[in-house]
Amino acid sequence: MVNIFPGAERAQRTLFLSLFTAALFLIAACGTEKTAATDTTSSLNAAPSGVVPSPQSTEPISIAAVGDIMLGSSFPDASGLPPKDGADLLKEVAPILARADLAFGNLEGPMLEGGASAKCGPRSTKCFAFRVPTRYGRYLKEAGLDVMSLANNHSSDFGREGVESSKRVLRELGLAHTAEEGDVARLNIKGRKIIVVGFATNNVSYNLNDIEKARRVVADLARQADILIVSFHGGAEGTAAQRVPYGRERYLGEERGDLRTFTHAVIDSGADLVLGHGPHVVRGMEVYKDRLIAYSLGNFATYGKFNLTGALGLTMVLEAELKSDGAFLGGRIHPATQTKPGGPRLDSAGQIIPVVRQLSQADFGQAGVKVDADGRFTRQ
């Protein structure tokens, strides 16, 4: 109990009984372990039932976040599947993900069997459609991931059927998801109501190009959550896209967002943490109104046809500690690399650390995070 309420010893005797009762309720309702906390949310994406105020913990919450995950594709054929059927792909990074209170990733590619893709022609060499075996879902669970965003440019590679199949796989494993408009992940961790909402640049998910709508959606969700996490899949792609420009980005003829305006707008509207991905490279981080923004988490576990040269092969697990009200306390970069054909390996040389330091400084100046040599980072 002391672990749950570190301030209890300091509380006045008159407050002790009510705190004790609240703590007991908290233990019963939520547990202190990550597994207990997520297990109690039997319907992870269900709308909140009734108005039962949750007892509030003041303990910080640790978030682990990673970028694009595509563990192997059975489309167009099984040659795109990894050795050992993918069982080892996430093993090295799993302990970092598992110990966080909440671990987030971007599920780049639908999980389904069969189905048809209208996306690519039979002889296309430049079009990528992914189809991840449904049996790979358990690797996400075993790695410690709790919530996946399907709000990206590949989750609809196999149409509605692929999205629904992915959601079903995650639901059966006890992972939450955020996919199309209205589908937000709701979790209860350490007595805090946490909502994760995904934005992308398509018309299935909330569209990050519609900033006025984003403000309304986020403001509405912020009223329902103690901590609101916004995920977005946006920005140009590739080694030339490491910097966060001012104004709108376009890529392959698509509007990929005015990300500085978007991220600040959602925080102005009540978001507490913004997690970006999409460029396939890691971008810098800034702190705005005491809230952390990671502009791109990069590729994370992308097996197969992905280009992993240079900056495309550098990645990380982002660990961020948030106050119980969502304010940013501090964080740590856990460096990793991918080499062809893919799968993250921890990087003792820490190659991504100076990259994030330099990008954060160059793009955000005083607002950029200050990154130490060991990967720990704080606001300036």
**62 near Zn ion (CB under 5 A):** no
Look at the alpha carbons of 291, 315, 184, 202 in this order and tell me if their dihedral is positive or negative. positive
**207 near Zn ion (CB under 5 A):** no
Backbone angles phi, psi at 151, to 5 degrees: -85, 85
Report angle CA 31, 37, 41 to the nearest 5 degrees.
125
Q: In the complex, which residue's CB is closest to Zn ion?
A: 153
CA dist 263 to 62, 96, 104, Å? 21, 26, 18
Residues 313-332 that bind Zn ion (CB under 5 A): none
Q: Min. distance of Cβ 19 from Zn ion in angstroms?
A: 46
Q: Which amino acid, residue 311?
A: A
- The residue (of 111 and 225) whose beta carbon lies closer to Zn ion is 111
**153 near Zn ion (CB under 5 A):** yes
- The residue (of 41 and 153) whose beta carbon lies closer to Zn ion is 153
Q: Min. distance of Cβ 143 from Zn ion in angstroms?
A: 20
Q: Is the peptide bond before 48 cis (omega within 30 degrees of 0)?
A: no
Q: Min. distance of Cβ 142 from Zn ion in angstroms?
A: 24
Q: 327: which residues sit within 8 A by CB, 6+ positions away?
A: 272, 290, 291
Pick from 369, 266, 270, 260: which is nearest to 321 by CA? 369
Report angle CA 234, 120, 125 to the nearest 5 degrees.
90
Q: Min. distance of Cβ 254 from Zn ion in angstroms?
A: 11
- The residue (of 251 and 377) whose beta carbon lies closer to Zn ion is 251
Question: Total number of residues binding Zn ion (CB under 5 A)?
Answer: 2
Q: Which stretch binds Zn ion (CB under 5 A): 43-51, 138-146, 148-156, 218-226?
A: 148-156
- The residue (of 296 and 360) whose beta carbon lies closer to Zn ion is 296
Q: Min. distance of Cβ 166 from Zn ion in angstroms?
A: 15
Site of interaction with Zn ion (CB under 5 A)? 152-153
